[in-house]
Structure 1
């Protein structure tokens, strides 16, 4: 017994020491911020390329990636593929990654990941660009229409900037017969850009197409087309739909030119999807990361190195031990009665979608109705498995009815009841019913109220943003948590509620 106690103490000491040392190393040596105060944006961009490879044919996939030459700096860039060679080259101000394989067949998936932030300081390099271009050859009615459009454009413009803006506005006037002729029924943004480029070329004004990604988190993205021209000193950016000048601050230039984003040899049906997420990181730490002499291994070997969708899942999962800790303290130290240990935690997870008030109400209604059905089924003398099947089906029907009713009444929060764990509700109803029969209605109600109280506390703790950030950034804290749980596992003293129950003995 003594050796077992010593073993447990050593294990607890090792876990707590490891957790403290790893966390202290991340905070004081690596320099990761403890809180999200005084932070800057850190953007994570995932580009997913899917295509079908032709069997027994070499595969070569080329995709433009951001040049990151002026406003943004890369902290980490990775290319995820299976049995593909990877190379990067630069051409005409663009960067292009090439994946290549000798043999591939079937559906293929490639990933490009970029972790970046805005540049801090430093003078921007001098830029240069063409200030003259040859005219695009055009004949017949198209030439007449182009000249008819250029005449008022010249009259209403004073310099290159106003000339381009006026051209874009004219091309977007779809009621003009000359515009209709040049567009030939295709009013898509790329075709408008082509027409704008034609008109500007006749006036010898150079124009380039700029493909951008909008920096908005958690939204499906596709490249957005802009146009730019060099006025002798700076690049002027224009929206081809509105003529608005100036690139918004939330745009990242992905590539420049007329070529498509992806070019594939030895495959077909290439599709690219973008997933963006932004987190915040301490400004001092970010300045260190952007320094050329500092590597970004912290991002590579932490939970921030996971795919974005997985990160969001882990931010929920990594807080579950804290919910379990709440239940452990309430049961072992305070003596609160609940329906098992993990049932309140699972209910707390469901509260993330429904909200606390709606969640408590929905749990109460569904459980009450389920208990009534369970009481009725008891008279039919059914076996446990058929009885549970009937209760589960009833729970599903009740959830559907509540969702439909709440939608009709305009309470959209009620729709999230469908996310309640149906099996957990079914087992909760079964447990409450058995407790009711064996120990009475008062004990069953105490267990039900205790479960809701514990689930509510766990939900509130698991939602604290500062705690979520800290645990996600410093997961070694969970080692300290395990040490505390092991220590509580050997507690044999009185619970808080028992001190009140046995108060009379203390007086004697």
Structure 2
């Protein structure tokens, strides 16, 4: 017996732990929304390319594109142009789009559109970077100024991260004559990045320029950042402040010192960015992301089923919740019902007829069925013919109720045909047997208990938030099974028994 109890405890622990682990993994790792009405940001980025083409000559425009995969997922990427060929290639670590035309003249406009989200974006492993670089050529006063700056930088740094941060801070010091000399009177971010790159090259520390776009609903221009590889990962720095770490709202667009756009056969080229934020239902976003990237968890969830099948399972997956309600009412509350599954089936039937109308119909059909069953009992019929007559009577009664409901304009009555006729027939038969064996009072008590349990189960099973949660996180059924197994060993008093034996408790 002791080994059996231990086995049951282990089984319950395994089931509950597995259910909690899978559900937590879906919520915290896969980022599946907990609520059905949860929304996420969707960013729409438009890059408008304008330039003036030479008179009736060939034109080729090249623009860097974001590499994606760095915390973002691309839901749609499109290229809009008129009479231009489009080709996307990789050049070193960048993606480059090339628009080309045999002949073009006058003002030209091209569009690049990107729709992305952060929720299901995967952090792809970045390529390893260099850990050593040769020094850039520098002579004269600039070399002396650079060496003067490097001496305190080496003294106040301990690794690549602190070395780069200290270098940026020194270059941005307006009171330092050596820094002003390296900048040459040009305080722009590009010039500061060049000065930092020079100093780091003399210390043989590699550095790359990265251009990012801030996701905000205001006109944006690419923002320059710096990055260096420390042997394990890339470290990102703001060249103006020395801030380390790329913010989450920055989209890396391209790396290197080359300009964003190059046009052959044209002039006055310009790129204008427009960013718009919208909201989308989170589970709908998951379905779209599943079609566009590696968010393949939906393929192995109930959302991967056809829509009609999903609707069926949304009802079926709530049946264990109804069974759990009946189990609690019977084992803890002491409520007497016609079995466990019958109240749940009646609760499902209430979905079609609505609760109030369904209770009236159930009471009416059951009362009339019991009356007929009592009459047939006087005819001394066998059980099978008696059940056949009751079933036929239920069908006729349902048809009559549906007909009168239609004539009276009560559309709820039309759905009474969806009541499980066999369940109603067996309910009537079982109630009549209870009536004969234990009296009318007990039969009425069981009928009332069944109706109360079915009503409560219906109310709980139709909570929209609970239906969504159970359908989206079906592993919670394992937790329910563990609780049901634990309830199977409950031998204590029921609530109704405490009331019945209240006098003994006083003594």
Q: Indicate the TM-score class for this superposition, using the shorter chain for normalisation.
A: 0.5 to 0.7
| Alignment deviations for residues 208-252 of structure 1 (CA, whole Å, 9 cap, x no partner) | xxxxxxxxxxxxxxxxxxxxxxxxxxxxxxxxxxxxxxxxxxxxx
The reply to whether residue 125 of structure 1 matches residue 79 of structure 2 is: yes
Deviating beyond 4 angstroms after TM superposition, the runs of 4 or more aligned structure 1 residues are 119-124, 282-290
Q: Distance in 1 between matches of 2:463 and 2:317?
A: 13
Residue in structure 1 matched with residue 132 of structure 2 by the alignment? none
Q: Distance in 1 between matches of 2:305 and 2:77?
A: 34
Task: Return the offset for 1:121.
Answer: 8.7
TM-score by length of 2: 0.53
Q: Please tell me whether the aligned partners of residues 39 and 283 of structure 1 are also in contact (alpha carbons under 8 angstroms).
A: no
SS of 2:332 mapped into structure 1: helix
The reply to whether residue 435 of structure 1 matches residue 434 of structure 2 is: yes
Q: Distance in 2 between matches of 1:392 and 1:463?
A: 29
TM-score by length of 1: 0.53
Task: Return the offset for 1:333.
Answer: 0.4
Q: Distance in 1 between matches of 2:422 and 2:295?
A: 44
Residue in structure 2 matched with residue 500 of structure 1 by the alignment? 499
| Alignment deviations for residues 397-422 of structure 1 (CA, whole Å, 9 cap, x no partner) | 00000000110111111010000000
Residue in structure 1 matched with residue 3 of structure 2 by the alignment? 3
Closer/same/farther in 2, CA of residues 436 and 384 from structure 1, 3 Å limit: same
SS of 2:311 mapped into structure 1: helix
Task: Return the offset for 1:39.
Answer: 2.5
Task: Return the offset for 1:429.
Answer: 0.5
Closer/same/farther in 2, CA of residues 7 and 371 from structure 1, 3 Å limit: same
Q: Please tell me whether the aligned partners of residues 40 and 281 of structure 1 are also in contact (alpha carbons under 8 angstroms).
A: yes
Please give the residue correspondences for 1:110-259 in structure 2 after superposition, counting only pairs within 5 Å.
125-128=79-82
Residue in structure 2 matched with residue 359 of structure 1 by the alignment? 358
Q: Distance in 2 between matches of 1:476 and 1:3?
A: 28
**Larger Rg: 1 or 2?**
2
SS of 1:125 mapped into structure 2: strand
Q: Distance in 1 between matches of 2:41 and 2:343?
A: 36
Residue in structure 1 matched with residue 230 of structure 2 by the alignment? none
Q: Please tell me whether the aligned partners of residues 33 and 285 of structure 1 are also in contact (alpha carbons under 8 angstroms).
A: no
Q: Distance in 2 between matches of 1:502 and 1:335?
A: 13
Q: Distance in 1 between matches of 2:430 and 2:77?
A: 69
Structure 2: gaps of 5 or more residues:
47-72, 85-279
Q: Distance in 2 between matches of 1:481 and 1:393?
A: 39
Task: Return the offset for 1:127.
Answer: 3.4
Closer/same/farther in 2, CA of residues 439 and 286 from structure 1, 3 Å limit: closer
The reply to whether residue 372 of structure 1 matches residue 384 of structure 2 is: no
| Alignment deviations for residues 40-98 of structure 1 (CA, whole Å, 9 cap, x no partner) | 699xxxxxxxxxxxxxxxxxxxxxxxxxxx9xxxxxxxxxxxxxxxxxxxxxxxxxxxx
Q: Distance in 1 between matches of 2:458 and 2:359?
A: 11
Q: Distance in 1 between matches of 2:297 and 2:465?
A: 20
| Alignment deviations for residues 104-133 of structure 1 (CA, whole Å, 9 cap, x no partner) | xxxxxxxxxxxxxxx989885323369xxx
RMSD, aligned α-carbons: 2.6
Residue in structure 2 matched with residue 34 of structure 1 by the alignment? 34
Please give the residue correspondences for 1:77-476 in structure 2 after superposition, counting only pairs within 5 Å.
125-128=79-82, 280-281=281-282, 294-476=293-475
